[in-house]
Structure 1
Amino acid sequence: MNAEFILALEQIEKEKGVAKDILIDTIEAALVSAYKKNFGSSQNVRIKIDRETGDIKVFSEKNVVEEIEDALLEILLEDARAKYGASIEVGDIIEEEVTPRDFGRIAAQNAKQVVVQRIKEAERDVIFSEYTNRESEIITGTVARVSKGIVYVSLGKTEGVLNATEQIPGEEFSIGQRIKAYITEVKKTTKGPQIFLSRSHPGIVKRLFELEVPEIYEGTVQINSIAREAGSRTKIAVSSVDENVDPVGSCVGPKGTRVKTVVDEINGEKIDIIKYSEDMAEYISNSLSPSKVISVEIFEAEKSAKVIVPDYQLSLAIGKEGQNARLAAKLTNWKIDIKSESQAGTSGDPSEHALQDAQIEAETEAELDENN
């Protein structure tokens, strides 16, 4: 190695961000092993690379003793004083240069391997630092390949892993397809950083709304809670810090354009946007949308509520396979017991319900169309 090699290390330092001194220290450590391997020596050696010229020297370290037991590791006191001066004492460590004639060639080969490996490690560290700070964010990538149900997404310098459990049920991918995904975790492994992605996580819905709704990005509208069953339905509760701003309307957007963009991105999944309320009875009532609610009885200690709905709204309130009630419970974090008026023994005049039936069902259908 020579001064040109030092210049090359300085260039690497500028381009890759790996300090020259760190590279040299790593090379020196590697050359100790290379020396022992090639010259079969069990002596203690130290490698020194000149930071300016690139010259390499090998030094054998020996303990100063009065009686030698191992000539490779020890030197007699009188011999040490003869070579290095009368100030040498027993217990001192002296260094003798033992640089082999053809060690430069071996050193160059090892140095190249060390530098290449260190650059790879540095690049991995940079990628890990970049993506570990982006956990819980959305990232856009391109489908690179699909293997055994796992989708590998190209993110530029690295790949993200979208496991089958993190995909939206029924979603299919094609090579080259651009997708948005939510970064759930970044791990350091022996093969470099692994970036785990999700399209089924509730967080992706939140981030998509942040991208599409300026009022959320600015902080005027806040997302208070999200409950999701990926591929089927999501409920999202929103509120506004400005009484003049309608949080639900802001998320829906003009003619439903904002919510439609989010729905399209998550493969057509239905989204119910409801208004959050500090009043738990009102909040629970809203969470069961699109169902109408007659009354809500709150039990604070148990964090449970008894909800009464019209007889003809019971199936809508509960939802297919209990989904609407289940999502409402997840959204509010309360146990919700839903009963019809008949079950609760509070039904009013049947003829009155018959007159209202057509109107309420029409309103329900209209709301479903708007939310879908």
Structure 2
Amino acid sequence: MRLLHTSDWHVGRTFHGTDLLAEQESVLEHLAAVVVDEAVDVVLVAGDVYDRAVPSAEAVRVAGKALSRIRDAGAQLVITSGNHDSAARLGAFADFAAQGGLHLRTTVAAIDRPVLLDDEHGPVAVYGIPYLEPEPARHALGVPQARGHTGVLTEAMRRVRADLAAKPGSTRSVVLAHAFVTGAAPSESERTIAVGGVEQVPASVFDGVDYVALGHLHGPQRVAEHLRYAGSPLAYSFSETARKSVWLVDLDADGLAEVRRRELPVPRRLATATGTLEHLLRAAEYDDVVDCYLSVTLTDRVRPVDAMRRLRERFPHAVHLDWRPEAGTATVLRYAEAVRGRSDIEIASGFLTDCRGAPPTEREHALLATALEAAGKAEPRERDRE
């Protein structure tokens, strides 16, 4: 049996305010092509199908279209809910959907009720553990003494192993889980799942099964041979430099036979650029990043006015802008020293200087003074004292 492991679609997510639905639809459509090319039997989606608990109508359309194409390509699907999903909404009509090959595992009650599939070697039991919020989950699982993510996942896996022990010895096993396993590397785009405790769980919690398809972390990685993160199909932060991919998992008569990585297409590359505004706007060395999602760090001594608008004239997909003057040119912000013994106009002028690296002009100084007077907060202007 061949499985395709993916996760963290986050359909509906934006990237620094930019809509990604077109890119998400494109890369998810490619999954159906992989199903055909690789003769995949089952697609595993380990949580965070959507980016929000209440996704937009367009996000639901994109996700639904992707699932339909995968099913039409010949694969069944097993999906669990992640910390971004609404388990109740994602799991609606689960029994009905299963008749068409879409198996939704979003409830505590279904943790030890696997999707049972067969190949020429016999049965494969696929268990889905949805994201478990520790406090409500420990009561729902009947283990009020359990603490944190480790406690509730330990109980969930106990139930999985107990059910598996009651099945024929030839039954192979797969678990989907949405968690942060110790030893894996996070990126900047995951939402923390730590609530009053440690979010990480030891890999040993998942011992006793042939393959564990993990979700939550957005970088593809191998924690152990049988324990892997597929990562998100798109980059959702500039920290995600590794090429996005899925895992192709082969099971033989004895269990896990092989795991292969298959890279996904990149609808739009990510890039960074650093320099003064004028250099970035003119230098030929940046021609190859014109069509990328771009994060820019400006090094101008004075913060340029309207920098993002000007950047987008050359780089239409610039989405992030930072200003870091070259060493020795920036003013260190120390609020207490900045305001001690100074008038309101001096403080306002100092703030402007700190923000852009240059003092206000005479005209700007006069405008600040006028505004402060109008607010009733300024000292009399010097010309009024004369």
- Alignment TM class, shorter chain as reference: under 0.3
TM-score with structure 2 setting the length: 0.21
Larger fraction in helix: 1
The structure showing larger relative contact order (alpha-carbon pairs under 8 Å, at least 6 residues apart) is 2
Compare CA radii of gyration and give the structure with the larger one. Answer: 1
